[in-house]
Amino acid sequence: MPEYSTMVRWDGAHRGELSCSNGAVMPFSAPAALHGESGVLTPEDAFVGALNTCFMLMFIWAVERLKIDLVSYDCEAVGEIKEFLDKTSTFNRVTLRPRIEARSCRESDVERALKLAEKYSLVWNSIRSEVLLEPEINIHS
C-alpha cells in the first residue's frame, strides 16, 4: 500500500520548512493574520490546494480515458472556515469552480469526466468538508 510522508522543521516564530518524500521542500507559515508571513504556503492553502490539485489530476486522467480533446482547464477553489464559540475552527465547505474548454465532444462527456474525477480523487474522498463542484464548460466545434 502506498505511503506518503513529510517532515516539518521549525524555523522560529510561526514559520517552518516542509520536506516531502518526493524531494519537494518549501517554507510554510501561519497565515499573516495569525502572526505568520505572507508569500509562503500556509496549512490552510495547502489543504485547499491539495483538493484542487488532486481533483485536476484525476480530471486529466478521466479526460484521457474518455478521449476528450481538452483545450484548457483552470480551477478556483475556495475553502470556507466555520469558527466555533470555543475558537476552534473547521473547513465546513470547499467549492471547486473549474473552467473547462474542450473541442469536438458533448458537454455530457465532460460532465462524465468530472464525475469520474470526483469518484477517484483521493483527497476529496478523505476529507470531512462538504465539497461543491460548480463547473463552467465550453465546447468548441
Instruction: Provide the residue type at 48 as one letter.
Output: V
Contacts of residue 11, defined as CB under 8 A and 6 or more positions apart, other chains included, come to 17, 27
Confidence (pLDDT) at 141: 85
- Specify the pTM: 0.95
Distance CA 7, CA 18 (A): 6
Q: What is the pLDDT of residues 84-119, one digit of tens each?
A: 999 999 999 999 999 999 999 999 999 999 999 999
Instruction: Provide the residue type at 119 as one letter.
Output: K
Crossing angle (nearest 10°) for helices 43-66 and 107-120: 130
Q: Hey, what's the cell of 75?
A: 480551477
Mean model confidence pLDDT for the chain: 97
Residue extents of the structural domains in the chain: 1-41, 43-140
The answer as to CATH 3.30.300.20 being correct for domain 43-140 is yes
Flag whether pLDDT at 137 surpasses 90.
yes
Interval 14-29 mean pLDDT:
97
